[in-house]
Structures are given as structure tokens and as C-alpha cells.
Copies of this chain bind each other. A is one copy, B any other.
């Protein structure tokens, strides 16, 4: 931490600040300038609340100089994390495509879609069995029955399964049927849940919260990593801004920025990112061009009658078109589609 002392601070105040920093356990290096004194407070305390120093008399500002996360950072681990699955790996050169409906609705629905997305090149079947809905009156998902159907459909067409758990009580059932456990944006800071996921053997895809900074998002990854589960993927799915013409504002810069700060793979979700079907393809192209390691999209065989998120789900033929387009983009930047 660096502590900047006020220009008119007295020597007594400065000594008081140094004493308190020592009490907190820091080593202190003092730089006395003509106009201003700066104190370097050395000591690894990633969770130290700098406001505790900022309120002291004579302190102008206090800045943290280390990232608050460790296991998630590139300083800690330089080589990229690659997460292996039976039919592909996430985080390598080949970009992995995950596709499927918002919600599992029926056997015929999920089998139809699984076949279509597998044929077009997806490696993962996505689909919700437990649905976090803003209305208590809305369709809440098929539960375990939906997971069973997904697993069977995925196995039939050589796909892996990704699905969302809403809290710690759903981890065990999810481990039985899914290959990746998804944490939704609204649960990104549900710390008890994150801690439980740290003990799971399954890879976790952590969606960015609606108004989470990169740092907070990586801190949530740190919760899972520090519990012992090293298989974490970060998923950008749009943030909340003042713009309401799109459902969210998809922050494409999250892809290069998180890659620079962390070794974890980054997944892009253009369906939630933009929320409008006919803009999903250009946003998927942009995500691949910016370096995404995987793309997750909503595809439905009959979006007009989907029980949820139909308006942002691609028709199967649009998904095929998307695959064709991102394949050439991937090649253009020296990658492939897995």
C-alpha cells in the first residue's frame, strides 16, 4: 500500500500514521519530498481495506499496490489454464462452441436441438434445468428430470453438458449429469456457493455479474480456486449500463483484459450479451476476433414457442451460419474451431 500524506500534515501526524501502519503489521518506507511525504507500506495483505488508512488524520490517499487476488492472477501462474474434456479442451488454440436452448423443455426438444448443434459443430450442449427467473410466477425449469434428458441427448450426439446450479444444494445433482457447472451472473458473489464449488471436481464456468468489475469477478474466481478447484472459466455475458436498446452491453474488452490479468480461459456469451437474435452473430464474430476461448449461444428448434429467452435464441440454420462465419474468423487469427 502507498500512503500519500496531506501537504500540510504535521510531523506528529506523520509519525502517528507510521505507528498505526506498524500496528497493522506493515513495514514502512518513508519518502520525504519538498511538498509532500509518501509512505510505502510493505506487507502482503491482499484483503486490507485501504479506507482504514484513508480516514486517519493527515492522510490524503491510500492505494493498494497489489491485486487482491493471487491464484487467479498471471503473476502467480504465467501459463494459460487449459481444461480438458473428452471431446475437446477449453483454453487451448481451438475455440469451443457451446449451444442449446435456454431451458430444457421436453425430450423431443432437447434431442432435436442436440442433434442440430452437434451436426453444426458444437462440442457442448447447454440448457437450463434450474432457472433463476426474475418473476416467481415464471417457468422455473424441469429440475433433475431436465438434467437427465440433457445428459442422454448429449451422449447420443457426442456432446458434453453445461448447466447452471443456483446454489450449494444443487451441486451434487449437477455433478452427476453435467460436465461444467455454470454459475449465473446473479450468483457471482454468492460466496457460500462459490466456496462449495471450490470443493467440486467439476469445472466451473463463472459468469460476470451485471455490474461486477474485472477485479471483483476475478476475486470470485479466487474463492473457487482457493477451495482447491483449479478448473475455472470466466464468462462475459454483458454488463448493465445506461443503454436500454440492448438487453445488456456486451463488454468485448473483457476478453483481452482478463487474458492479460489472468491465466483462466474466457468464454463469450453473445446471446445474453445483446439479447436480440439478429445481433447475436456479429457479436459472436467480434468475440472470436477479440480472442475468446469459447462461445456459448442459445439455439432453439422453435424459438417462437420457447418457454424462456426465445427472442435471443438462434434458429438452427442461423447457428449453422454463425459456425461458418466464426470458423473463418478463427482461421484469420490463427486459431480453429474445436
**Which residues of A come within 8 Å of B, CB atoms?**
2, 4, 6-8, 20, 27, 29-36, 38, 40, 42, 44, 46-47, 49, 51-52, 54-56, 60-61, 63, 65-66, 68, 75, 132-138, 166-169, 186-187, 189-195, 210-211, 213-216, 219-220, 222-223, 226-227, 239-246, 249-253, 255-257, 260, 273-279, 282-283, 285-291, 303-304, 308-312, 325, 328-329, 331-333
Contact = CB atoms under 8 A, between A and B. Distances in A.
Contacts of A186: 189-190
Contacts of A251: 241, 243, 249
A291 B279 CA distance: 11
Given A2-B4, A31-B42, 6 more contacts: A52-B304, A167-B190, A252-B283, A282-B289, A286-B286, A328-B333
A65 B9 CA distance: 14
Contacts of A27: 33-34
What copy number does this chain have within its complex? 4
A289 B329 contact: yes
Most buried by B among A27, A47, A133, A239: A47
The 5 closest A-B pairs by CB, nearest first: A29-B31, A51-B311, A211-B211, A33-B42, A289-B289
Contact of A260 (B30, B38, B278): B278
A68 B135 contact: yes
Contacts of A216: 134
A252 B279 CA distance: 11
Nearest to A214: B245
Given A249-B241, A257-B246, A283-B252, A40 B51 contact: no
Nearest to A31: B29
A242 to B, nearest CB: 5
Nearest to A284: B289
Contact of A279 (B214, B253, B309, B333): B253
Contacts of A253: 246, 249-250, 273-274, 279, 283
B138 A47 contact: yes
A222 B256 contact: no
A65 B60 contact: yes
B190 A311 contact: no
Most buried by B among A33, A214, A227, A287: A33
Most buried by B among A34, A44, A249: A249
A316 to B, nearest CB: 16
Contacts of A220: 134
Contacts of A32: 29
Given A253-B279, A331-B332, A226 B136 contact: yes
A118 to B, nearest CB: 24
